[in-house]
């Protein structure tokens, strides 16, 4: 179930975050809380059950209508799909890369069509942890400090939208803040 937890940022690098300021699984509350902070969140039906052997081309073909919906305004001409499973040979390297706080020069737009992943958004003096699951669509604006945890046994598939032809490009902040917050189990 999709969940939002909002935590105070904490003041020292070794501070354990306190209890959440807010925790909710209500999609309307999640949408409202994220919108007040500039994050767009929607629930879309992920109607296609992908085969275990589905490759990127199969995933993109299965969700042609949803991709067209996002690309209608021309902001996100590049699209790909990332599918992670517990036996993925690069799961540890990718987890370490995504879990470090970073920003992007463009929006980060994801539509989860399988499984789940934890977006952590560092906005002002708060950290918002958004457990995104199948049917969740999220747009994190360019320049937003964040990290993504797919867990040690990842199980998700997300369609990713970009406004550049290179795809996922990040600028790492060097802030170890991600180390102070709960990981995806």
The reported pTM is: 0.91
Domain ranges of the chain: 3-175
CATH class of 3-175: mainly beta
Query: In whole angstroms, how far apart are CA 94 and each of 25, 71, 127, 136, 162?
Result: 27, 27, 22, 21, 19
State the chain's mean pLDDT as an integer.
91
The C-alpha torsion from 172 through 178 and 184 to 185, rounded to 10°, is 120
pLDDT value, residue 30: 98
pLDDT value, residue 17: 57
Is 85 buried (19+), middle (13-18) or exposed (0-12) by CB count in 10 A? middle
What would the mean pLDDT of 1-9 be, rounded to a whole number?
Answer: 94
Q: What 3-state DSSP class applies to 8?
A: strand
Give the whole-number percent of the chain exceeding pLDDT 70. Answer: 94
What digits encode the pLDDT tens for the residues 43-67?
A: 999 999 999 999 999 999 999 999 9
Contact 66, 160 (CB under 8 A): no
């Amino acid at each position: 179930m999709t969940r939002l937890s909002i935590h105070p940022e904490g003041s020292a690098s070794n501070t354990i975050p306190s209890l959440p300021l807010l925790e909710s699984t209500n999609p309307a509350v999640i949408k409202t809380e994220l919108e007040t902070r500039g994050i767009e969140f929607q629930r879309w039906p992920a109607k296609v059950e992908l085969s275990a052997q589905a490759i990127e081309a199969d995933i993109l073909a299965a969700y042609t209508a949803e991709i067209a919906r996002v690309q209608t305004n021309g902001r996100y001409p590049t699209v790909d799909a990332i599918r992670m499973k517990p036996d993925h040979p690069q799961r540890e390297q990718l987890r370490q890369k995504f879990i470090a706080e970073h920003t992007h020069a463009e929006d980060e737009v994801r539509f989860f069509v399988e499984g789940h992943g934890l977006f952590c958004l560092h906005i002002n003096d708060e950290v918002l942890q958004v457990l995104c699951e199948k049917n969740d669509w999220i747009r994190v604006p360019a320049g937003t400090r964040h990290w993504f945890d797919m867990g040690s046994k990842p199980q998700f598939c997300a369609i990713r939208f970009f406004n550049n032809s290179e795809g996922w490009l990040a600028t790492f902040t060097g802030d170890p803040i991600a180390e102070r917050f709960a990981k995806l189990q």
